[in-house]
């Protein structure tokens, strides 16, 4: 079944008693036992809740996973996965990483004896050089933030199998609609469902999918033990969002492609990062491996003064953090999303004081372009 159809189907057959077309919000903390030693399959909502389960089963189907798991945020999801490791373990991590993930690794998990090597994971020699006897996993983002490099999952997963490492991929920017990481050798996919999956800038949520059933059991043990689960209301909102993932993504990508080209042609824009542009270094590989290029654009303006002007003058496009929702948002990574990345690394990556990041929404494309045009004028 096509993934668009699968997404619409989430929760549809859940309530056989009433035939409700959407899964009900089971707003309950606990469940009555039918008898001693008996269970309906639900005992307590941290361990399992039907609304959350509908979402977890749904994301598992979309990713072709053994199981899916829902958490109270993307960071909670990543935290739960990092807890699979123990003190002394080492991870190889892509250097072009979401700032919050970098902060979690360096300021929290560092304190618990995990260590991390940040490398350019598109450079095979650099990945191999970072390998230590204590290395247990490689953590990448399928499409990175904010500079939109596309991970070479086939090469990295071959390296991981050769060295008995887990491959964990943050697939937030692409979602299963554009790329199913588990089909490309990834063991665990993580999502900030806050972004494209929920898609309406109205919910904070995290999702995980796991390929191997045994590993999934372990992840479930951690989810239940740590307890950062997604509540029933937010699970329902996330399901509601996922149902329209396909059409939202199509529209957002179409808009992003046009806007990226418009930016390329604008005299005040000095650089445009969008993998759908033919001169993007990963364009050809992404065209082959992904069903689309996503709807995130990063661009440099010719003078720093223009950054503040654009952030103040855009009307339709909101100056706000986050991304992936139906509303277009613009942000200044250097001082916002990526402030926790060390300065030296930011410079090397190209996250500088003229770089802006645009999350393209579903608005009319001409209206978005007009908004950018007037914001760029003196
Ligand atoms: C937003 C984001 C996260 C964190 O998710 P939250 O839902 O905000 O906790 C992780 N990774 C990426 C790529 C993100 O964009």
Check residue 346 and give its pLDDT.
86
CATH architecture of 245-376: Alpha-Beta Complex (3.90)
328 lines ligand 1 (CB under 6 A): no
User: H helices within the chain, ranges in order?
Assistant: 3-9, 50-63, 74-82, 99-103, 124-130, 153-162, 175-178, 213-226, 232-243, 245-265, 283-289, 305-313, 343-349, 365-376
Q: Whose CA is nearest to atom 7 of ligand 1?
A: 74
Q: For residue 238, how far is its CA from the centre of ligand 1 (angstroms)? A: 15
Q: Whose CA is nearest to atom 5 of ligand 1?
A: 74
Check residue 349 and give its pLDDT.
86
pLDDT along the chain (378 residues), means of 10: 95 91 97 95 97 98 98 98 98 92 96 96 89 98 93 95 98 98 98 98 98 98 98 98 98 98 97 97 96 98 96 96 97 85 84 95 98 95
Please identify, by atom number, the ligand 1 atom nearest to the C-alpha of residue 101: 10
74 lines ligand 1 (CB under 6 A): yes
Instruction: Give, as one character, the DSSP assignment of residue 106.
Output: I
Per-domain boundaries in the chain: 3-243, 245-376
98 lines ligand 1 (CB under 6 A): yes
Three-state helix/strand/coil letters over 276-299:
CCCCCCCHHHHHHHCCCCCCEEEE
Check residue 281 and give its pLDDT.
94
172 lines ligand 1 (CB under 6 A): yes
Report the catalytic residues.
46, 98, 170, 195
List residues bridging with 296 in a β-sheet: 359
Say how far apart CA 91 and CA 137 lie, in whole Å: 5
Q: Whose CA is nearest to atom 1 of ligand 1?
A: 192
Say how far apart CA 326 and CA 160 lie, in whole Å: 36
73 lines ligand 1 (CB under 6 A): yes
Please identify, by atom number, the ligand 1 atom nearest to the C-alpha of residue 78: 10
CATH of 3-243, one of 3.40.50.300, 3.50.50.60, 3.30.2130.30, 3.40.640.10: 3.40.640.10
CA triple 255-59-29, angle to 5 deg? 120
| Whether pTM exceeds 0.85 | yes
Same fold for the domain at 3-243 and the one at 245-376? no
């Amino acid at each position: 079944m096509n993934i668009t159809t699968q997404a619409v189907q989430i929760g549809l057959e859940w309530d056989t008693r009433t035939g409700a077309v959407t899964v009900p919000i089971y707003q309950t903390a606990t469940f009555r036992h039918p008898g001693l030693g008996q269970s309906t399959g639900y005992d307590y909502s941290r361990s399992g809740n039907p609304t959350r389960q509908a979402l977890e089963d749904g994301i598992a189907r979309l990713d072709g996973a053994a199981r899916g798991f829902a958490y109270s945020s993307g960071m909670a999801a990543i935290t739960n996965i990092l807890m699979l490791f123990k003190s002394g373990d080492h991870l190889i991590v892509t250097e072009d990483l979401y700032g919050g993930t970098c902060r979690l690794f360096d300021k929290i998990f560092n304190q618990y004896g995990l260590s991390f090597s940040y490398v350019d994971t598109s450079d095979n020699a650099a990945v191999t050089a970072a390998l230590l006897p204590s290395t247990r996993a490689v953590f990448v983002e399928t499409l990175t933030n904010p500079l939109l490099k596309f991970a070479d999952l086939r090469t990295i997963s071959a390296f991981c199998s050769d060295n008995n490492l887990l491959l964990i991929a943050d697939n937030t920017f692409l979602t299963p609609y554009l790329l199913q990481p588990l089909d490309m050798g990834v063991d665990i996919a993580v999502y900030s469902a806050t972004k494209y999956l929920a898609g309406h800038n109205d919910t904070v949520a995290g999702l995980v999918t796991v390929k191997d059933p045994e590993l999934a059991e372990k992840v479930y043990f951690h989810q239940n033990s740590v307890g950062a689960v997604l509540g029933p209301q937010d699970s329902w909102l996330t399901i509601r969002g996922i149902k329209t993932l396909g059409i939202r993504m199509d529209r957002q990508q179409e808009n992003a492609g046009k806007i990226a080209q418009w930016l390329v042609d604008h005299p005040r824009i000095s650089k445009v990062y969008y993998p759908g542009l033919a001169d993007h270094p990963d364009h050809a590989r992404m065209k082959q491996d992904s069903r689309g290029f996503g709807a995130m654009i990063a661009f440099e303006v010719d003078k720093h003064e223009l950054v503040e002007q654009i952030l103040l003058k855009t009307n339709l496009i909101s100056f706000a953090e986050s991304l992936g929702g139906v509303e277009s948002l613009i942000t200044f990574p250097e001082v916002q999303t990526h402030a926790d990345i060390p300065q030296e690394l930011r410079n090397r990556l190209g996250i500088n004081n003229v770089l802006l990041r645009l999350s393209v929404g579903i608005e009319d494309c001409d209206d978005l372009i007009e908004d950018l045009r007037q914001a760029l004028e003196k």
